[in-house]
Copies of this chain bind each other. A is one copy, B any other.
Amino acid sequence: MGTIGLAVIGAGYWGPNLVRNAQATPGLRLEYLCDLDADRARRVLGGYSTVRVSDSLDEVLADPAVHAVAIATPAKTHLPVAMAALEAGKHVLVEKPLAATYAEGRELVEAAERRGLTLMLDHTYCYTPAVAHLREQIRSGALGDIQYLDSVRINLGLVQPDVDVLWDLAPHDLSIFLSILPDGVVPLSVAAHGSDPIGAGRACVAHLTLQLSGGVMAHVHVNWLSPTKIRTMVIGGSARTIVWDDLNPSQRLAVYDRGVDRVADDIGPETKAQTLVSYRTGDMVAPALPEREALRAVMAEFQASIAESRPPLTDGRQGLRVLSILEAASASLAQGGAFMPVLGELVAEVSA
């Protein structure tokens, strides 16, 4: 396959980043920036661009020069826009979340699989050098058994008009978890607590607790109201623990040879628990990571997955798993924080 013709749909907050990175990706040819507001699209492209502007999705999808679309429109429009693209035979890259509901997301996954088209999620963080390193460290066993995961994603954020803070921010954390967890460690149930102290009509501060298979607990803290910005994830392992501070470019990852080990199983009843554990207090290593823009890697993966007719790293099914967790979290919120099961089964059935 030769160069892949691309249209970016949506010239709002994220669209300009797609435009910029698409233009820099070998194997892609940006044909259109499409937005209902053509002036907004023109402003995004600026006064020196040869890229075409369109305010008609139909026009764009009818153009045989367009082989793929990258969608950066509001979540509730993902189903119609992406479905139209798939029905027109276009490959689709879509912003997180995949769709406004699990049911809608499933429609898209099924439609893409039926047609053999690429459906990829722009889970941008999954393409950072940090996540790539985390994944490799975890899957190689260097961390040992996963003991806990903890993610904090707080800042003074835009209070979204249609979704709460969980649906806005937690897809980042959840897609990272799914991207790095070893095979067989999957979310089983989720509990969510939230509050809306400014009267916005939806949770602005929330905590998510995930029960993973194997008894591992993961926690996500998201907050739109924090005056300070924190983007930190800790992945505790039996052999190493990694702390990822995404706002510290000179030391994003810190791999600690520190931890608590249980040293005996068979011990008399009188022995104190302190004697059961020992403490490792070894060195910390901050691995050298390349500095590259993650969205560039997203675009390269989209191009490659189409060119090679293979599923992308963050495919529709991963997007669907995120939706299943978010829906369970919303159900938990509505029911006062009880643990709700994550719909793992349905995901597996999709293409059955």
Interface, chain A (partner B; CB < 8 A): 23-24, 29-30, 46-51, 145, 147-148, 150, 156, 158-162, 191, 193-195, 197-202, 204-205, 207, 209, 215-217, 219, 221, 223-229, 234, 236, 238, 241, 243, 250-251, 254, 256-262, 272-274, 276-277, 279, 281-288, 336-339
Cβ-neighbour of A236 out of B158, B226, B262, B273 (below 8 A): B226
Bound: A285/B283 CA distance, A:
7
The residues of B that contact A338 with a CB separation of less than 8 Å are 336-338
Bound: A46/B29 CA distance, A:
11
With A226-B236, A228-B250: A148-B197 Cβ-Cβ less than 8 Å: yes
Asked whether, in the complex, the Cβ of A273 is within 8 Å of the Cβ of B225, the reply is: no
The dominant DSSP class at the A interface is strand
- 10 A-B pairs within 8 Å (CB atoms) are namely A159-B277, A161-B273, A195-B215, A197-B216, A197-B238, A226-B234, A227-B258, A227-B259, A284-B285, A336-B339
Asked whether, in the complex, the Cβ of A281 is within 8 Å of the Cβ of B207, the reply is: no
Question: Assuming A48-B51, A156-B279, A228-B256, what are 6 further A-B pairs, CB within 8 angstroms?
Answer: A29-B47, A156-B258, A156-B281, A226-B236, A227-B258, A285-B285
The residues of B that contact A147 with a CB separation of less than 8 Å are 197-198, 205, 225
Asked whether, in the complex, the Cβ of A261 is within 8 Å of the Cβ of B217, the reply is: no
Cβ-neighbour of A49 out of B48, B285, B288 (below 8 A): B48
The residues of B that contact A207 with a CB separation of less than 8 Å are 207, 209, 219
The residues of B that contact A50 with a CB separation of less than 8 Å are 48-50
Asked whether, in the complex, the Cβ of B199 is within 8 Å of the Cβ of A161, the reply is: no
Residue of A145, A162, A199 with most partner-chain B CB within 10 A: A199
Cβ-neighbour of A260 out of B162, B225, B256, B282 (below 8 A): B225
Give 10 closest A-B pairs by Cβ, nearest first: A227-B256, A147-B197, A227-B258, A195-B217, A161-B273, A284-B286, A161-B272, A193-B209, A227-B241, A48-B50
With A46-B24, A260-B204, A285-B284: A250-B225 Cβ-Cβ less than 8 Å: no
Asked whether, in the complex, the Cβ of A148 is within 8 Å of the Cβ of B227, the reply is: no
Asked whether, in the complex, the Cβ of B277 is within 8 Å of the Cβ of A288, the reply is: no
Bound: A150/B236 CA distance, A:
21
The residues of B that contact A256 with a CB separation of less than 8 Å are 227-228
Asked whether, in the complex, the Cβ of A262 is within 8 Å of the Cβ of B199, the reply is: yes
The residues of B that contact A243 with a CB separation of less than 8 Å are 227-228
Min CB distance A248 to B, Å, is 10
Chain B residue at minimal CB-CB distance from A287: B283
Cβ-neighbour of A198 out of B198, B277, B286 (below 8 A): B277
Bound: A51/B29 CA distance, A:
18
The residues of B that contact A156 with a CB separation of less than 8 Å are 258-260, 279, 281
Bound: A159/B337 CA distance, A:
28
Bound: A234/B243 CA distance, A:
21
Asked whether, in the complex, the Cβ of B191 is within 8 Å of the Cβ of A262, the reply is: no
Asked whether, in the complex, the Cβ of A200 is within 8 Å of the Cβ of B277, the reply is: yes
The residues of B that contact A148 with a CB separation of less than 8 Å are 195, 197, 205, 223, 225
Asked whether, in the complex, the Cβ of B159 is within 8 Å of the Cβ of A260, the reply is: yes
